[in-house]
Amino acid sequence: MKSAVIVFPASNCDRDIAVALEKITGTKPHMVWHGDSDLPQVDFIALPGGFSYGDYLRSGAMAARSPIVAEVMRRASAGVSVFGICNGFQVLTEAGLLPGALMRNAGLKFICRDVKLRVENAGTRFTNAYAQDQIITLPVAHHDGNYFADEGTLKALEDNGQVVFRYVDENGEASETGNPNGSQHNIAGIINANGNVLGMMPHPERLIEAELGGSDGRALFDSVLNALESA
Amino acid sequence: MIMDGVTQIPDKTAKNEITPEMVAEHGLTTEEYERIVAALGRAPNITELGIYSVMWSEHCSYKSSKVHLKTLPTEAPWVICGPGENAGIIDIGDNQAIIFKMESHNHPSYIEPYQGAATGVGGILRDVFTMGARPIANMNALRFGAPDHPKTKHLVSGVVAGIGGYGNCVGVPTVGGETSFDASYNGNILVNAMTVGLADKDNIFYSAAAGIGNPVIYVGSKTGRDGIHGATMASAEFTEDSEAKRPTVQVGDPFTEKLLIEACLELMASDAIIAIQDMGAAGLTSSSVEMASKGGVGFDLDLDKVPQREEGMTPYEMCLSESQERMLMVLKPGREDFAKGIFEKWGLDFAIIGKITDTGRLTITWRGEIAGDMPIASLVDDAPVYERPFVAGVKQALLKAGDIPAPDDYGDALMKLIGGANLSSRRWVWEQYDHMVMADTVARPGGDAAVVRIHGSEKGLAMSTDCTPRYCLADAHEGGKQAVAETWRNITAVGAKPLAITDCLNFGNPEKPEIMGQFAEAVAGMGEACRALDYPVVSGNVSLYNETNGTAILPTPAIGGVGVMASIRRMATVPFKRYGDVIILIGESKGHLGASIYLQEVLGRKTPEELGAPPPVDLAAERRNGDFVRPLIEEGLVDTCHDLSDGGLIVALAEMAMASKAGGIGAEIDAGFISPSLAVPLHGILFGEDQGRYLIAVTEEIAADILRRAEAENVPAVQIGATGGDALVIRHEGTEAVKLSVSDMTSAHESWLPTYMSG
C-alpha cells in the first residue's frame, strides 16, 4: 500500500502514524511537507495529530487553507482514502471534507487517557477488520474534541451510518459518563457520504502493540489493507 | 528596575551617573558594585550595570551555593558530561546518549502560573535540545500551598494547564512527576521541570565558542521587552507587592519552540555548527557571555542586527530581555546560507549579529556607537563567591512507635491518607498532559517510575522525581540522602539500573545561617547517597530566596533520576496482576513513624518537635536490597513491584490493589511478620516509613525461589500474605484490623483532587 503523511510545522504525531503505517503495511509512507502542493500517487493519505500551525486560531483552521490541503481535497474527491486523526480530524472539518466542528472540550481542559469506543459501522474501508458493535480501547489526547453539528447534519450522519466510532462507558453504553468531551451523540469519529474520508479524535496509531498498553488500533490499518486488496 | 510595579526602562542616552539607588535596584551590594568598577577601570553605564547585575545574580552565578555544589560526585564511567554545560549527559550504549536536566521556574509561576510554568517547560526543553538531543520525555515536581489557602486552587489550575499547554503542543510526552501540598509553599510555589532527551553519542553539541572571526548567529523568535530582569527577580525574596512583578514574567510560544527544535535538529545533522547555546535567563547577555567564556574568546555584537519585535528598544532592554524561543550559535564560516535555508524553511528568524574576537571582551554596538564593553572574564570568573555562614539544623529526637498513639480505626486512617491532599490520585493532573505522544510510553504516569522505550529498540528509559521535604526540615542531611535514594528505589522498582541524577535545590534565603545550614546539610546528604549508590549528579539548578515576608519554604532538594533497562518486555509495574500471588516484603521494617505522613495527617502533628526525626537511610542496605530486586525483574521472575514510601506498607498495598484492573484485586496480609521481640505496634508496622523496602507479588513457585535467594544473599525478605478477593484485609493477632473494599478505596483515592479543583 502506498501512503502519504501530511506534515504541518507543528504536527507532532506524524512520526507515530508513519511508524504504525510502516509496521502494519510494510511500506514507509511518503512524508509530505505542508508547503508543497504536489502529492505523490498514493492509496492512502493521513493527516496526523498535533497543532498544525500552532492552532492559536481555531484548531486546524489555518491548515485547512494550506496549499497541500487543497491537493488533499482534490484526491479525496477522486476517491482516495483520507484519514484524519485528532488535529487531522479538525483540519478535515475546517476544510469541509467532513461536516460539523470540533469545539473546546466540555470540561475546558486538555484530556489524555484511554477511552472505550463502539465500532458503529464495521462496513467501511477503515473498519472492516473490526466486528460490528465491537467495543475497543483507544487513547484520546486533545483540547478541542467536542463534536458539534446541527440537528439536520446529525440526523443525516446517523441515518446514513456515517457515525463510525462512538464513545461508550464501561458497560458499552453511549452515556454521559462514557463521553470524555461533550461530543453530541457521543461521536468520536465520522466518515463522509462517499465512504473514503474518515476523521476521528482517538489515536489508533498509539495502541498497535501490547507493550504500549493495547493493540486495538491495529485493525484500523488492517482494514485499509483489506479494502485495498479486495478492490 | 522595578519601581511601583512598573518596569522602568532607563533611557539609552542615560550618560548620567549610576546612583546607589540604581545599584540597589539591580540587586547588587555596594561591595559588588565596587568590584564592577575595579573590573572596568571606570564606572559602568546603565547597560553594563544591567549586564553585571544579571550575570552576578544568584540565579546565574550560584554565588551562595557554589562552594557546596563542588562537593557533589559528578563522575562515573558512563558520564559523558557533568554539571557546567546546558545539561548532563550519560552513555546508554549503542552509540546513544541521554541528555537531561531539571530546572526551577518558581518565582514566575507564582506571579503568573500559566506562563510561568509554560516557559519553565520551554526553557528546560531548550537546555536539552541545544546539546543535540531530541527531547523524549518531560517530568516535573510541583509543590503548592495548603489546599485551603485562597490562592492554591488558582495556582494548581494555572500551572498544570501551562505545563500541558506547552508540552502538549511541542509533542514531547509529560510522563510523570509529583505534586504535593504544604502551607510552607503558600507564598512560594515550586515548579521544577525536567526534560530528558536522546542523542547520538558522536553528535553532541557544546557551547564553547571558537574560531576568531567566525559569525555569531541569532535564531528563533524576535526579541521583545518581556522578561526583563527575570533572573534578578528569581534572586530575591517576595513581599506583598510581588504580583506587581508580572511584567518580568516571559510569555511562551510552544509553536515556535516546536519549529526551533526541528530546525536545530535538522541543522545539527550537518557539520555546520561549532557551538550552540539557548538564550535562557538573562537572554542574549548570558548566552553570549557563557559561550565566549567557555571558548576563551571575545564577542562583538551589533544590536541593530538583532531581530526585534518592538521598535525603539534600548541596548539595556535588548541585552536583558528574556524573550523565549531564541538560540545563539557559532557557525563554520561559509555555512551561513545553508543554515539560513533551514531556518527559513521553518519560518524562523536567522540573523548574523556579530563575530568572535580575540579581545576577551564583550563589546556591544548600537546605532554605530559602543553601548557596552566588558571583559568576559570579569562577568564570569570575578562574580562573587560567598562562603555564607551557616548553622547546623536542630536534629529532632527519635520517636518510638510505642510512644505514638494508634489510630482509633486503622481502616479510617488509611482512607484518610489515600483520600487526602497528599496521597490521593494525581490523575486530574496527568490527564491534562499528553503522556503518550511519540508512541513510546510504556509505563504511564502513576507508577513508581515512568518508562519510555528508546525509539526503535527494546531498551527502556526510566525516570522519577522525588523529595520528601518534611524529612528535610527535620534533618536536612537525612532528607537529602532520602531524596536521592527514593529516585534510585523508584527506578529500581520498574527493573531499570539507576545511572545518574539531576537536581533542583529549592531553599529560602541563603543569607540566613539556618537556611544556609539546611542547604549545606542537604547537599552533603545527597552527595553521600550518590557516592554509595554510584549515582552521580550530572546537572542541576539552585533556586534560593523562596521566602515571602521572611517565611521560608520547607527545604526541597528535588531529585530527578534516570535509569536504563535492557528490555521493556521485562519491566515491573505497580498493579496486582493475578489472584493468589504471594506477596513478599523486601527490606527491614522497624516501624519508624517519625516525620511520617501518619503523624502529620492522621494525628495532625505540625511542629518539627512533634514530628521527630525522619527515617534513617541505611545506604548499604538500600543498595543491597535494590541490587537484589532488580535482577529478579530483569530475569523475568517479577512483574509486580512497588517501593514503600509515604504512608508505609499499608499505603503501598492499597496502591497495588487500586491500580489493578478488572474490578480490583485485593490482598490478605497477616501483620505478624515482624518479630514480636521487636515490640513494634501494629500502626508502626502498617504506617512506618522505614526506607529501602519493596513489595513484590509473584506466583507461589517463584516466591519460594526468591525467598531462598534472599536468604542466601542475606537480604531481609518475608512472605506477608497473598493477593485475592476484592478487599484489602489486614489480620493482626487473629483479628481483622482492616477490611476495605478496593472499590471504596479507589473512589476515595480518585475523588479528592477533582472534587477539590471543582469546588
pLDDT tens-digit readout, B364-401: 999 999 999 999 999 998 889 999 999 999 889 999 99
Closest CA to B497 of B92, B120, B199: B92
Which uninterrupted H or E stretch holds A136?
strand A135-142
Best probe of the A interface among B434, B442, B577, by most A CBs < 10 A, is B434
- pLDDT beyond 50 at B514: yes
Q: Which three cell numbers stand for residue B187?
A: 507564598
Q: Average pLDDT of B499-511?
A: 97
Residues of chain A neighbouring B662 (CB-CB closer than 8 A): none
- A231 — pLDDT class (breaks 50, 70, 90): confident
Q: Do A109 and B259 touch (CB under 8 A)?
A: no
Q: Do B434 and A112 touch (CB under 8 A)?
A: yes
- B247 — pLDDT class (breaks 50, 70, 90): low
Q: Which three cell numbers stand for residue B410?
A: 486503622
Q: Do B437 and A9 touch (CB under 8 A)?
A: no
Distance CA(B234)–CA(B527), nearest Å, equals: 26
Q: Do A12 and B258 touch (CB under 8 A)?
A: yes
Chain B residue with the nearest C-alpha to that of A115: B431
Residues of chain B neighbouring A12 (CB-CB closer than 8 A): 169-171, 258, 437
Distance CA(B461)–CA(B455), nearest Å, equals: 10
Q: Average pLDDT of B495-519?
A: 97
Best probe of the B interface among A7, A8, A12, by most B CBs < 10 A, is A12
What are φ and ψ of residue A223, in 5° steps? -60, -45
Residue in B165, B170, B439 closest to A206 by CB: B439
- B2 — pLDDT class (breaks 50, 70, 90): very low
Q: A218 by DSSP, 3-state: which?
A: helix
Q: Do B437 and A51 touch (CB under 8 A)?
A: no
Residue B251 has a pLDDT of: 87
Inform me whether the C-beta atom of residue B703 falls under 8 Å from chain A C-beta atoms: no
- pLDDT beyond 80 at B236: no
Q: What is the DSSP letter of B22?
A: H
Chain A residue with the nearest C-alpha to that of B167: A12
Best probe of the B interface among A21, A33, A52, A112, by most B CBs < 10 A, is A112
Q: Among A52-66, B188-202, B414-428, which is the least confidently predicted range?
A: A52-66
- Tell me the per-residue pLDDT of B112-166, one tens digit each, with 9 for 90 and over: 999 999 999 999 999 999 999 999 999 999 999 999 999 999 999 999 999 999 9
Q: Do B435 and A112 touch (CB under 8 A)?
A: yes
From A13, A142, A143, A205, the catalytic residue: A205
Spell out the domain ranges in chain A.
3-230
DSSP annotation string for A139-207: EEEES--EEE--HHHHHHHHHTT-EEEEEE-TTS---STT-SS--GGGEEEEE-TTS-EEEESS-GGG-
Residue B300 has a pLDDT of: 97
- pLDDT beyond 50 at B403: yes
Inform me whether the C-beta atom of residue B341 falls under 8 Å from chain A C-beta atoms: no
Q: B193 by DSSP, 3-state: which?
A: strand
**A-B contacts at Cβ under 8 angstroms:** 85
- pLDDT beyond 90 at B328: yes
Q: Average pLDDT of A76-102?
A: 98
- pLDDT beyond 60 at B9: no
Q: Do B431 and A112 touch (CB under 8 A)?
A: yes
Long-range contacts of B305-312 (CB under 8 A, 24+ apart): B305/B218, B305/B351, B305/B352, B305/B353, B305/B354, B306/B218, B306/B223, B306/B351, B306/B353, B307/B218, B307/B221, B307/B222, B307/B223, B307/B349, B307/B351, B308/B222, B308/B223, B308/B224, B309/B221, B309/B222, B309/B223, B309/B224, B310/B224, B310/B225
Distance CA(A109)–CA(B75), nearest Å, equals: 43
Residues of chain B neighbouring A213 (CB-CB closer than 8 A): 442, 444
Fold type of domain A3-230 = Rossmann fold (3.40.50)
CB B575 within 8 A of CB B541: no
Task: Give B712-743 as a 3 state SS string.
Answer: HCCCCEEEEEEECCCEEEEEECCEEEEEEEHH
Chain A nearest CA to B661, separation (Å):
12
ipTM above 0.90, yes or no: yes
Q: Average pLDDT of B501-524?
A: 97
Distance CA(B654)–CA(B396), nearest Å, equals: 30
Chain B residue with the nearest C-alpha to that of A50: B169
* Residues with Cβ within 8 Å of residue B629, at least 6 apart in sequence: B492, B493, B586, B638, B641, B694, B696
Closest CA to B130 of B109, B101, B104: B101
Ranges of beta strands (E only) in B92-189 are: 96-104, 134-144, 174-181
Q: Which three cell numbers stand for residue B700?
A: 507461589
- B59 — pLDDT class (breaks 50, 70, 90): confident
Q: Among A205-209, B316-320, B533-537, which is the least confidently predicted range?
A: B316-320
- pLDDT beyond 60 at B93: yes
Inform me whether the C-beta atom of residue B457 falls under 8 Å from chain A C-beta atoms: no
Q: Do A113 and B431 touch (CB under 8 A)?
A: yes
Question: With pLDDT > 70 as the criterion, what percentage of chain B qualifies?
Answer: 96
- Tell me the per-residue pLDDT of A96-144, one tens digit each, with 9 for 90 and over: 999 999 999 999 999 999 999 999 999 999 999 999 999 999 999 999 9
Distance CA(B682)–CA(B672), nearest Å, equals: 9
DSSP annotation string for B457-524: SS-EEEEEEE--HHHHHH-HHHHHHHHHHHHHHHHHHTTPEEEEEEEEEE-S-TTSHHHHHHHHHHHH
Distance CA(B178)–CA(B31), nearest Å, equals: 41
The pTM of the full predicted model, rounded to 2 decimals, is 0.96
- Tell me the per-residue pLDDT of A10-46, one tens digit each, with 9 for 90 and over: 999 999 999 999 999 999 999 999 988 889 999 999 9
What are φ and ψ of residue B41, in 5° steps? 75, 15
- pLDDT beyond 50 at A162: yes
- pLDDT beyond 50 at B6: no
Closest CA to B101 of B542, B545, B449: B542
- pLDDT beyond 80 at B1: no
From B26, B68, B105, B435, the catalytic residue: B105
Q: Do A54 and B169 touch (CB under 8 A)?
A: yes
Inform me whether the C-beta atom of residue B254 falls under 8 Å from chain A C-beta atoms: yes
- pLDDT beyond 90 at B677: no
Distance CA(B102)–CA(B501), nearest Å, equals: 9
Q: Which three cell numbers stand for residue A48?
A: 496526523
Residues of chain A neighbouring B444 (CB-CB closer than 8 A): 213
Residue B17 has a pLDDT of: 81
Residue B13 has a pLDDT of: 43
Chain B residue with the nearest C-alpha to that of A180: B431
- B203 — pLDDT class (breaks 50, 70, 90): very high
Inform me whether the C-beta atom of residue B344 falls under 8 Å from chain A C-beta atoms: no
CB A25 within 8 A of CB A80: no
**B229 part of the active site:** no
DSSP annotation string for B512-571: SHHHHHHHHHHHHHHHHHHHHHT--EEEEEEE---EETTEEPPPEEEEEEEEEES-TTS-
- pLDDT beyond 50 at B560: yes
Distance CA(B654)–CA(B154), nearest Å, equals: 30
Residues 545..604 of B with a Cβ closer than 8 Å to A: which? Answer: 568-569
Give the β-pairing of A44-47 and A81-85: parallel
Phi-psi region of B334 (alpha: psi -120 to 50; beta: other; left: phi over 0): left
Closest CA to B129 of B338, B278, B259: B278
Distance CA(B487)–CA(B473), nearest Å, equals: 19
Q: Average pLDDT of A184-196?
A: 98
Residue B222 has a pLDDT of: 95
Q: Which three cell numbers stand for residue B643?
A: 517501593
Chain B residue with the nearest C-alpha to that of A59: B169
- B4 — pLDDT class (breaks 50, 70, 90): very low
- pLDDT beyond 80 at B5: no
Q: Do A211 and B436 touch (CB under 8 A)?
A: no
- Tell me the per-residue pLDDT of B267-306, one tens digit each, with 9 for 90 and over: 999 999 999 999 987 789 899 999 999 999 999 999 999 9
From A13, A34, A86, A94, the catalytic residue: A86
- pLDDT beyond 90 at B343: yes
**B149 part of the active site:** no
Residue B12 has a pLDDT of: 41
Residues of chain A neighbouring B345 (CB-CB closer than 8 A): 35
